[in-house]
A and B are shown apart, each in its own frame.
Chain A
Amino acid sequence: MASVAQRALNRFRRRKAGGAEAATGSGIQVAPVEIAPNDPLVAYFQTTSGAVDVDNLDFDSPAAEQLKRSGVKLVVPLVSQGELIGLLNLGPRRSEREYSGDDRKLLDTLAAHAAPALRVAQLVKQQEAEVRTRERLEQELRVAQLIQQQFLPKELPDLPGWQVAAFYQPARQVGGDFYDFIDLPDGKVGIVVGDVTDKGVPAALVMATTHSILRGEAPRLNSPGQLLERANNRLFPDIPSHMFVTCLYGVLDPQTGRFVYANAGHNLPYVRSGNETLEYRATGMPLGLMAGMKYEEKEAIIEPGQAILFHSDGLAEAHNPQREMFGFGRLKEEMAGRPGGNALIDHLLDRLRHHTGHGWEQEDDITLVTLERAGGEGLFTSAPASIPGPRNLPVDGENELASFSVGSSPGNEREAMRRVEEAVADLTMPPAQLERLKTAVSEATMNAIEHGNKNQAEVPVDIRVTSNGDAVTVYITDQGGDQPTFETPTPDIEAKLAGTQTPRGWGLFLIKNMVDEMDVITDEHHHTLKLVLRREGEDHDA
């Protein structure tokens, strides 16, 4: 008998359909019986206890009919916590006698043990399936992240006279934020900031497509409005119906500050002008919603000292535990009167942390891109006017060791370096200090050539080397005039590896660390970097 029950249990198979299922034992080969959830037999088994004689079932039930036809004589419902989870089906006894009271008792005991065990097995299986689903979703997230990050700029554009900074932080569930800088003819740069509705792999793919369309068309189309129109018409036929892309595209001429832009439903860029924040507004429908849309094109001049901020929803729509949004108005207020560049981004992120508090799970991707134009009433650090200009050089008590000029062609910094080395040859500086001087001179001359004199070969970089008993001093002067020294972000290797800082931007940092003293001297027409290395600097420690 026990062996029959055992076999029946062994043969009990879970089927994919919901509700309860059953199999039979006792050597009769029967297909497992499936019971529809609404079969009256289910309700009957749930309320009855112990083994049931199938032949005595006299209500209208397809499952009961099927059991009878299969030759099942006795059914033991397996009920766990009021739920029918399976049946033990037994055919006729092999001895051809009826099932005894002892048989039934044994079956009841077996069912009482089997039901919870079966329930546990079912739960384990269910949990395993959930783990697999979760792993699949995690994998999908990784893929989405990979696609998205693949298309973010690897470095920021190097625009003379502009401080460019960008920040991007995906939410755990990766939204569809993206941004891009596109090199255009005549030294102009295209700036893209966008957001794909929806999340995950589908959003990442639409983002990649949008990215390619914009990259491909931007150099050919001068007009931001036309570019968005083209992108919309190309996206519309293929984009999934519930998805669309908000996108702002603008073309900046770094020389003049002229910014021509169009907007496909993206957040308005903000422009900090002194203590005010302006909005750059242009109307247009998001990309991919409707074919044949037109995009308004506007134009503005970003004046010296102004900074423009492009931003996605992730910051302004971040909620605090009281469900209050950070807000667009707040974002504008926080920008006013602030320096631009990384300092602005740091400030905004700091205010965001303050708003959301600890333990905040980021709701959406955060993208911040900012460009600040040097000069004017800006918040760059300029050298104080009281410092004597290059015309007042040299200073009393210094021996002039050399004075020469090099043209502003890239590579001429090597010549400058060689001639400074020659000039100090008689001073017998310690070799390590000499190397530092050479690197500092080379870097400073490179800056003068590139930034001060804008690589114009005929414009000279003037170099003077002087010494006194205490120090060697090198003055490197370009014709850039009142060029304020940027408060460049301190290069940070981790930020660079994470792609949030350009891989470049080491020059000023190197110079400062190579010399004992670095000063900036400017007047209307000249910009001088003064480098001082003290003679006793043998144990110079950077």
Chain B
Amino acid sequence: MTARSFSRRHLLAGAGALSLAALPSGRARAAGALTVGFIYVGPKDDYGYNQAHAQAAKALKGMPGLEVIEEERVPETNAVEKTMESMINLDGATLLFPTSFGYYSPYLLTQAKKNPKIQFRHCGGLWTEKDPKNAGSYFGYIAQGQYLNGIVAAHASKSKKIGFVGAKPIPQVLNNINAFLLGAQSVEPSITCQVIFTGEWSLAVKEAEATNALIDGGADVITCHVDSPKVVVETASRRGAFVCGYHVDQSPLAPQKYLTGAEWNWLPIYEDFIAAMQAGKGPQNFVRGGLADGYVKMSPYGPGVSEVARKNADAVKAEMMKGGYAIIKGPLKDNTGKEILAAGTAYPEKAAELESTRYLVAGVKGSV
């Protein structure tokens, strides 16, 4: 420490450095290693959205020349800016993955402008050409997984009623609900899906109440789109209903009642970003993909899935693996009777219209 000009700032910095030196387990960073920071909005072991990212982070930890740092339960407030700054300043991170949707604006954008040499990649589809070039987005077409969930659900359902616990009526959730029902209706056109919105991403009590209400209403296969499907999966299986998973594999929570699930697979995206960084290039700004790209995958089939159901789902999955699959295709009406698409038209997976979905398709009981 050479303190030539002595100011208050230096004094503080010096105090910080001293306390760092005093650390018994001060970390020695390998020279030239790339440090990557992951930021999660909830706990890493939530059997849900955050765990999907944390699993990928864990898989990365063995990679040579790479250091992975993580921080969980960071709220979508200016606290996340401080977490980003802290990872950059104290840990030397040069690639950051703030994974929660609400981190993007204004927090990630502010930090990206402030730190032009640091790369920020955000989970979601928010990045546009107007945004800083050292920022970017990645996301997966997971509605494909919910469509396959629906196929398997329809085969397992005896009451021909299935249920969906949703967090908020926003486009991403609505797409999943629509895909779940349309998948089911591709097997059994008379099937209906009741949806209950809890209003928030993580509300365990309401999620349990919603699951119970769906089952009381006659639904015998349940799926969901909340941050942590743990409560929904456990409640449904305890009540004897089948469940389809979301975000990650929840089969350990309900080994007998778990049919299959729509899972994220973020690892290939992260590996690509890191490979680009290690090659000295900036990682891509906008990455999207579905089953065909390996960004979305299905949980292994559970014991409740019949042979017919497996064959049916596998056949559709093979179609999806070719790319460009359209779940939303005409003729299609919403559940108020309004036409969404005329016969012969379709929204394939990459269609921009799917980013602003405001409807529930005919057969879904519930309102936006």
**Co-assembled chains A and B:** no
